[in-house]
Amino acid sequence: MKTIYVERIAQVREMMERNGWDAVVVSGSDPHSSEYPAPRWQQVKWLSGFTGEAGDLVITHDHAGLWTDSRYFAQALEQLEGTGVELHKTRVPDAVYIPEWLSDRAKVVAVDGLCQSVSAAEEIAAALGEDGSVVDVPDMFSGLWDDRDMMPVSPVTTLDVDCFGGDQRTEKIAWLRKWMLLKGVDRALLTSLDEVVWMLNVRGRDIEYNPLIISYLLVTHDSVKWFVKKENTVLDPDTEDSFSELVADGVEVEDYDSVYYALKDFSGENSAVKLFVDPSTLNFHIYNHIKEAYPEDCLVMGTSPVILKKAVKTESEIENLRQTHIDDGVAMECFLYWLEKEVASGREVTEWEASERLSAFRAEIPGNRGNSFENISAYGAHAALPHYSTPQEGSAVIAPRGLYLVDSGGQYLTGTTDITRTIPMGECTELEMEDYTLVLKGMIDLSMAVFPRGTTGHQLDAFARMPLWRAHRNFGHGTGHGVGYYLCVHEGPQSIRWQPNPQPLLPGMVTSNEPAIYREGRYGIRHENLILCREAGESEFGEWLEFETLTLCHIDTSAVLPGLLGPEAFQWLNEYNVRVYETLSPYLPADVEAWLKDKCGI
Amino acid sequence: MKTIYVERIAQVREMMERNGWDAVVVSGSDPHSSEYPAPRWQQVKWLSGFTGEAGDLVITHDHAGLWTDSRYFAQALEQLEGTGVELHKTRVPDAVYIPEWLSDRAKVVAVDGLCQSVSAAEEIAAALGEDGSVVDVPDMFSGLWDDRDMMPVSPVTTLDVDCFGGDQRTEKIAWLRKWMLLKGVDRALLTSLDEVVWMLNVRGRDIEYNPLIISYLLVTHDSVKWFVKKENTVLDPDTEDSFSELVADGVEVEDYDSVYYALKDFSGENSAVKLFVDPSTLNFHIYNHIKEAYPEDCLVMGTSPVILKKAVKTESEIENLRQTHIDDGVAMECFLYWLEKEVASGREVTEWEASERLSAFRAEIPGNRGNSFENISAYGAHAALPHYSTPQEGSAVIAPRGLYLVDSGGQYLTGTTDITRTIPMGECTELEMEDYTLVLKGMIDLSMAVFPRGTTGHQLDAFARMPLWRAHRNFGHGTGHGVGYYLCVHEGPQSIRWQPNPQPLLPGMVTSNEPAIYREGRYGIRHENLILCREAGESEFGEWLEFETLTLCHIDTSAVLPGLLGPEAFQWLNEYNVRVYETLSPYLPADVEAWLKDKCGI
């Protein structure tokens, strides 16, 4: 099986030989810098067998390496065995990143410019120095990749924001044009898929779990052009009527590939046209195509303003999110009740069955549009892999002892959820209970934070870690990521990580709060809620912010060591569980309601 | 009185007019980028009357502005009144710094290149753009400044490291040469005064409170040249013998001004000589002098390695520091006992008298070399100024109620101390007790931190703030600065602040821990200990570090609200006070010992 990858890499090396390239860099992304590319662009997987959600591959004549972060170290080592591809660790002390690694190993580096952002390509170019070069070879592997997938297509849904929250697309376009005026630009090209669909209040299903449509948006002061594959204009039957509103709002629908032409079309323009692009998501191929057409001072590059605007949820979005978390919590509680009952009955429930059952509970909720990512349903040692992928065949049976971890979320017309619960299935060891309690204390300490306006996530990250740190324990990933609104489950610009991030946390931002611990070969524990940043008043010392926990699903107290949790966190936990019960109970079937009441100690 | 400043600024403007300068930038520093310049270089004070320890002045034809940070806002507003100089706030959100401010207001900017670092001058030059220029005018104001001080001179002390800790100068020089080899440089010029005296194991008294000698050090692979004012070679009578060891160790003593010549002397060199300089402390005037002599690739600029090496204290230095803090703690306890008794007796003790008395207690300690900074002895509302300067005449009487704050430190041959205690002099209000407790909780929470190797100060800063934050309170300065070893009380590279600082905390680093609160017109509270970063073992999750509190002086519990402090911090406080009593009691006079026992609740 692994020989496939060895052969493919050998074919790439032949291509390198023919063309005089010293190295090929293969990104794990698509032409829009998406975090989760559709199968067509899963080039790293095709070349190496690695299926992690983050990873870039470098092939030279005598080395092949995969760069990925700690979430995927164990998985990479397993999947890369026998392929000849070596693991290079990122986000660790003294990590050597691809540009630096290449700097003294290559002069001519080929990339699929479609799948490399301008920023990434320019970092490589800078590292290669003046006598080096980055060669742009779009769809580089198509000649070798017989059964390569086509571009994904899916029907378009247009959102009625009166029902589903947020601003009207006309308001968003007016806001962007105002920003463009201030910036002094005539055109703005949006390349990131979540920015495009957010602007237009549309959603699709081009990428699994991510309600996106592969497309570009070009906004000028008098036009809005949406470059989308023709097939996408097949409308979702449920919402056909509203699509006409999109056109009525002045959006011109054009073919995906005509974006190249449109960017270079200056007809009717009197003077030099200034174009705004975001080099962190614009692909290198388009950039190479247009950079000759725009003089240097006419190509304005920077961070897209849509990223921040989208992250700060509106009042109506926040109201919907609160309701959505009630619905999602009901599904979670029904699932947890079902799981406990089934396992207690002695029936052999597998991780896969549990995962399917959870998806089914979510699917029953009106407005549900599937899951927001692949469920992580992991029992025992499997949960020690932070991003365990539950296999359909041969997944583990969940026994009535130890810990079961389930990390899942739903897409709804009214928001996106992301929750992790770790369930004591029966008796736990002292170490399991200690770890369970310390991770929980970290989650609670962060939940209780109050902070002045201007505070960034890196100032708060250690609160989720200190209870573990004081016991000489830790986890290797970030504490929190931004979450979209019926959009990607990971979004920027804010984060709660140890790495400095200059973006302050702002009222309206939704972030995950998910400390964890992983004991290789034994178990994994993660507690995750979504937290909303909100205003907490003013004092003579300034303006204050705090978190509101959006997620509503009880936290099992049977594995909690109260002395270790401490009185303040213990009180928070009890109040949270009471709030969960009181909020959800009207919506729960009688047996689940009675069970939850007991779980919440009421 | 203030008209002096108006006149001087007018004279500067005449000079600007004559020379065609649009602006003059006056730094608050000296030719070595010292934090505390000797009087000769207190140009900002001479021009504006501002006496704060940090502040830069900009004069244009229609504006004069002082840039300083929150520690000095109140002081600056008071001292600048009537001078026509306006306050520009730094380290606040949306602060506009001097280069940016100048960018659309000036083209030709004059600086005293001696007192401007290369980095600072180049930031200005970059902001002015290609058609702007920075003119280097050494000793620019000497013609206007009749009674300008001469260069400071003071006798030199050479340290016997066998007694006083640290590495031998020959070891330090060998270490630097090894670094130079790795870096591929032939010469290294050290310009920062604390780096120079640290390398040579010498100390002087050129700058008040800072045991420095105005000098440069040029190290090559076969020579060590110390450029120092002739007058400094007058030796401290106590240590005359050991000075010969300095020469015996191969240090050539040359005249201060001959550094210019030496840098351009290439006699005996076969090929291009590479020189290392640190642009953050090298002055712009020397740089202009030498940059023609070294081709671009021969002038290697970067951060001096001495900064980090000096910050990581050796085992012998750490041992000495522990003993030094016992001595310093004895002086503090004797002072606090005296103060309480005197005030209780009804005698009118002023802030100034208290300050003098404290200095006298420190001066009695063998090895004491004066204070490490100007004592802050501040009663009531005066303590609301974080850097209150106690006046000799007319300072406030310390009454038997409310809070008295004393921030002080000593220079010893065996280390530098820095401690703040806030003393409840009698009955306190509920708000005073709340603030006292919350600030203390922050200091204790940071003291108890455990963290993985690689953690930086900005990851920990918020622990000192969160108790205040949760009550919507805060303080406007950093939480901790590095502290030298019989050297400057402020040193880098580490810090504990909200601003990202990439330098991890390393075992052996000494940092202050000083959260605070300031209630304008009412009172100020600050609790400050020095904390040593040390190893705390290894686990499967990595290597662990923690803090050891070096400072030994009891913390008054009479203003503590135990419920607000919480059980864990309360226990820390009690254990700390017991440790203080047990460690200091053998060295205390009987009456002080008995009093301290009672204070520590034993």
In this structure, the dihedral spanned by the alpha carbons of residues A168, A170, A175 and A178, taken in order and rounded to 10 degrees, is -170
- C-alpha to C-alpha distance for B137 and B114, rounded to whole angstroms: 8
pLDDT, tens digit (0-9, with 9 covering 90-100), for B106-145: 999 999 999 999 999 999 999 999 999 999 999 999 999 9
Taking CA–CA distances from B502, the nearest residue in chain A reads A500
What is the per-residue pLDDT for A312?
98
Taking CA–CA distances from B500, the nearest residue in chain A reads A500
Distance from CA of A92 to the nearest CA of B (A): 10
Least confident segment among A217-226, B218-227, B246-255, B404-413: B246-255
**Is the Cα torsion angle B556, B561, B565, B569 positive or negative in sign?**
positive
In this structure, the dihedral spanned by the alpha carbons of residues B77, B78, B83 and B86, taken in order and rounded to 10 degrees, is 0
Distance from CA of A27 to the nearest CA of B (A): 28
**Amino acid letter for position B258:** S
- C-alpha to C-alpha distance for A439 and B541, rounded to whole angstroms: 14
What is the per-residue pLDDT for A11?
96
Contact A542 B474 (CB under 8 A): yes
Written as one string, the DSSP assignment of A435-449 is HHHHHHHHHHHHHT-
Parallel, antiparallel, or unpaired for β B215-220 and B224-228? antiparallel
pLDDT, tens digit (0-9, with 9 covering 90-100), for B184-210: 999 999 999 999 999 999 999 999 999
Q: Mean of the pLDDT values across residues A45-55?
A: 92
Taking CA–CA distances from A500, the nearest residue in chain B reads B500
Q: Which of B473, B500, B539 has the CB atom closest to A539's CB atom?
A: B473
Helix (H) or strand (E) holding B481: strand B480-482
Contact A452 B474 (CB under 8 A): yes
- Whether A240 shows a pLDDT value over 80: the answer reads no
Q: Which of A459, A474, A538 has the CB atom closest to B462's CB atom?
A: A459
- C-alpha to C-alpha distance for B343 and B359, rounded to whole angstroms: 18
DSSP type of residue A396: P
Distance from CA of A443 to the nearest CA of B (A): 15
Cβ atoms A502, A436 nearer than 8 A: no
Q: Which of A449, A474, A500 has the CB atom closest to B541's CB atom?
A: A474
Distance from CA of A142 to the nearest CA of B (A): 43
Written as one string, the DSSP assignment of A9-21 is HHHHHHHHHHHT-
Predicted confidence band of residue B238 (pLDDT cuts 50, 70, 90): low
Quick one: which of B81, B95, B15, B28 has its CA closest to B57?
B28
ipTM of the complex: 0.92
- C-alpha to C-alpha distance for A462 and B5, rounded to whole angstroms: 48
- Whether B341 shows a pLDDT value over 90: the answer reads yes
Q: Mean of the pLDDT values across residues B557-574?
A: 97
Quick one: which of B485, B490, B569, B495 has its CA closest to B527?
B569
- C-alpha to C-alpha distance for A341 and A3, rounded to whole angstroms: 45
Contact B448 A454 (CB under 8 A): no
Taking CA–CA distances from B447, the nearest residue in chain A reads A470
Kindly report the average pLDDT of chain A as a whole number.
94
- C-alpha to C-alpha distance for B300 and B314, rounded to whole angstroms: 29
What is the per-residue pLDDT for B232?
62
Torsion angles phi and psi, residue B351, rounded to 5: -55, -40
Largest CA distance in chain B: 77
Measuring CA to CA, how many Å separate A362 from each of A165, A325, A329, A372, B363? 20, 11, 9, 11, 74
Long-range own/partner contacts, residues B138-145 (CB < 8 A, 24 or more apart)? B138/B112, B138/B113, B138/B114, B138/B285, B139/B112, B139/B114, B140/B15, B140/B24, B140/B110, B140/B111, B140/B112, B141/B12, B141/B43, B141/B46, B141/B47, B141/B112, B144/B8, B144/B11, B144/B12, B144/B15, B145/B46
Written as one string, the DSSP assignment of B213-273 is --EEEEEESS-EEEEE-GGGGSBPGGGHHHHHHHHHTTEEEEEGGGHHHHHT--TT--SPP
Cβ atoms A556, A599 nearer than 8 A: yes
Distance from CA of A494 to the nearest CA of B (A): 16
DSSP type of residue B32: T
- C-alpha to C-alpha distance for A597 and A317, rounded to whole angstroms: 30
In this structure, the dihedral spanned by the alpha carbons of residues B371, B373, B375 and B381, taken in order and rounded to 10 degrees, is -170
- C-alpha to C-alpha distance for A318 and A312, rounded to whole angstroms: 10
Contact B459 A458 (CB under 8 A): yes
Contact B450 A473 (CB under 8 A): no
Contact A452 B469 (CB under 8 A): yes
Predicted confidence band of residue A238 (pLDDT cuts 50, 70, 90): low
Cβ atoms B515, B529 nearer than 8 A: no
Q: Mean of the pLDDT values across residues A388-406?
A: 94
Taking CA–CA distances from B535, the nearest residue in chain A reads A472
Helix (H) or strand (E) holding B48: helix B43-48
Q: Which residues of A touch B441 (CB under 8 A)?
A: none
What is the per-residue pLDDT for B92?
83
Contact A541 B459 (CB under 8 A): no
What is the per-residue pLDDT for A242?
54
pTM of the model: 0.93
Total Cβ atoms within 10 A of residue A150: 10
Cβ atoms A440, A464 nearer than 8 A: no
What is the per-residue pLDDT for A302?
96
Quick one: which of A113, A44, A98, A507 has its CA closest to A283?
A113
Cβ atoms A159, A485 nearer than 8 A: no
Q: Which of A466, A500, A537 has the CB atom closest to B449's CB atom?
A: A466
- Whether B16 shows a pLDDT value over 80: the answer reads yes
Residue B386 — left, alpha, or beta (φ > 0 → left; ψ -120 to 50 → alpha)? Answer: alpha
Q: Mean of the pLDDT values across residues A224-239?
A: 73
For residue B548, with 0-12 CB atoms within 10 Å meaning exposed, 13-18 middle and 19 or more buried, which class applies? middle
Taking CA–CA distances from A453, the nearest residue in chain B reads B93
Distance from first CA to last CA of chain A, Å, rounded?
55
Of chain B, the percentage scoring pLDDT greater than 70 comes to 98
In this structure, the dihedral spanned by the alpha carbons of residues A499, A503, A508 and A509, taken in order and rounded to 10 degrees, is -30
Q: Which residues of A touch B449 (CB under 8 A)?
A: 466, 469-470
Q: Which residues of B touch A459 (CB under 8 A)?
A: 458-459, 461-462, 498
- Whether A236 shows a pLDDT value over 70: the answer reads no
Taking CA–CA distances from A474, the nearest residue in chain B reads B541
Q: Which residues of B297-328 are buried (b: 16+ CB within 10 A; e: fewer)?
A: eebbeeebbbbebbbebbebbbebbbebbbbb
Cβ atoms A555, A421 nearer than 8 A: yes
Contact B472 A537 (CB under 8 A): yes
Quick one: which of A445, A451, A443 has its CA closest to A506?
A451
Cβ atoms A230, A239 nearer than 8 A: no
Parallel, antiparallel, or unpaired for β B56-60 and B480-482? unpaired
Q: Which residues of B touch A451 (CB under 8 A)?
A: 462, 466, 469
The two three-digit tokens of residue B127, written as one number: 């902001």
What is the per-residue pLDDT for A241?
53
Quick one: which of A450, A492, A458, A454 has its CA closest to A478?
A458
Interface of B with A (CB under 8 A): 93, 448-452, 454-455, 458-463, 466, 469-470, 472-474, 498, 500, 536-539, 541-542, 544, 566-568
For residue B248, with 0-12 CB atoms within 10 Å meaning exposed, 13-18 middle and 19 or more buried, which class applies? exposed
Q: Which of B541, B543, B570 to mutate to test the interface with A (most CBs of A within 10 A)?
A: B541
What is the per-residue pLDDT for B518?
96
Q: Which residues of B touch A458 (CB under 8 A)?
A: 458-459, 500
Predicted confidence band of residue A394 (pLDDT cuts 50, 70, 90): confident
Q: Which of A461, A473, A500 has the CB atom closest to B541's CB atom?
A: A473
Count each helix (H run) and each strand (E run) in chain B, helices first. Answer: 20, 28
The two three-digit tokens of residue A161, written as one number: 């924001």
Q: Which residues of B touch A498 (CB under 8 A)?
A: 455, 459
For residue A407, give the 3-state DSSP assignment.
strand
pLDDT, tens digit (0-9, with 9 covering 90-100), for B423-444: 999 999 999 999 999 999 999 9
- To the nearest 10 degrees (0 to 180), the angle between helices B430-447 and B567-584 is 80
The two three-digit tokens of residue B268, written as one number: 């005996």
Distance from CA of A519 to the nearest CA of B (A): 9
The two three-digit tokens of residue B137, written as one number: 């005018």
Cβ atoms B500, A500 nearer than 8 A: yes
Contact B461 A459 (CB under 8 A): yes
Helix (H) or strand (E) holding B301: strand B299-301
Contact A500 B458 (CB under 8 A): yes
Q: Which residues of A106-138 are buried (b: 16+ CB within 10 A; e: fewer)?
A: bbbbbbbbbbbbbbbbbbbbebbeeebbbebbb
Interface of A with B (CB under 8 A): 93, 448-452, 454-455, 458-463, 466, 469-470, 472-474, 498, 500, 536-539, 541-542, 544, 566-568
Parallel, antiparallel, or unpaired for β B275-277 and B187-190? parallel
Cβ atoms B599, B556 nearer than 8 A: yes
What percentage of chain B's residues is helix, strand, coil (to nearest 5)?
40, 25, 35
For residue A358, give the 3-state DSSP assignment.
helix
Q: Which residues of B touch A538 (CB under 8 A)?
A: 472
Cβ atoms B218, B187 nearer than 8 A: yes
- Whether A223 shows a pLDDT value over 60: the answer reads yes
Q: Mean of the pLDDT values across residues A565-593?
A: 98
Q: Mean of the pLDDT values across residues A510-527?
A: 97
Taking CA–CA distances from A537, the nearest residue in chain B reads B472
Distance from CA of A396 to the nearest CA of B (A): 26
- In a 13 Å sphere around the CA of A370, the CA atoms on its Cβ side amount to 14
The two three-digit tokens of residue A13, written as one number: 């090396």
Rg (CA), chain B: 25
